[in-house]
Amino acid sequence: MAFTYSEKVMDHFANPRNVGEIENADGIGEVGNSKCGDIMKMYLKVEDNTITDVKFKTFGCGAAIATSSMATELIKGKTIDEALKLTNKAVMEALDGLPPVKVHCSVLAEEAIKSAVSDYYTRQGIDPEPIVGKV
Ligand code: FES
């Protein structure tokens, strides 16, 4: 089956933004995709409740790379609350869509952000579950 990817997906896949890790990150999230077993790691730097830097690393496919790249762009400079509201649907829309069989890949970024925020709150001595939900 041939897939058609949007130009934006191809751009973020070929030139992913915010790849790497952050030394002394304030929150680190790691999640696995239940559908394909691929892994995503997300690093956050937080100041005054604002995400000042974010980086990711993934063993995921091209769609996972593109969605994470876009997701990190969308949450950089935003408050934690705003970042938690980012859905995989919004990320896909920002990329002009994904083929239906690749939708599950976009969930990795959303879950990795939640996992990293959860870790951030835990490090602050705050129970993350009422805020972030179960990760
Ligand atoms: Fe695993 Fe896309 S196939 S993240």
Q: Does the pLDDT at position 134 exceed 90?
A: no
Q: Determine contact, residues 41/29, Cβ cutoff 8 Å.
A: yes
Q: Which atom of ligand 1 is nearest to the CA of 102?
A: 2
Which two structure tokens, joined as six digits, stand for 123? Answer: 């490090």
- 130 CA distance to ligand 1 centroid (A)? 29
pLDDT band at 135 (very low <50, low <70, confident <90, very high): confident
The alpha carbon of 128 and the centre of ligand 1 are apart by a number of angstroms equal to 27
Per-residue pLDDT tens over the stretch 71-95: 999 999 999 999 999 999 999 999 9
- Residue identified by tokens 């191809």 is 10
Q: How far is the C-alpha of 14 from the C-alpha of 81, rounded, in Å?
A: 30
Q: Which domains does the chain carry?
A: 7-123 (3.90.1010.10)
User: What is the model's pLDDT at position 1?
Assistant: 56
- Which residues are the active-site residues? 36, 105
pTM tops 0.85, yes or no? yes
33 lines ligand 1 (CB under 6 A): yes
pLDDT (average), residues 27-34: 94
Rounded CA-CA distance 40/132 in Å is 18
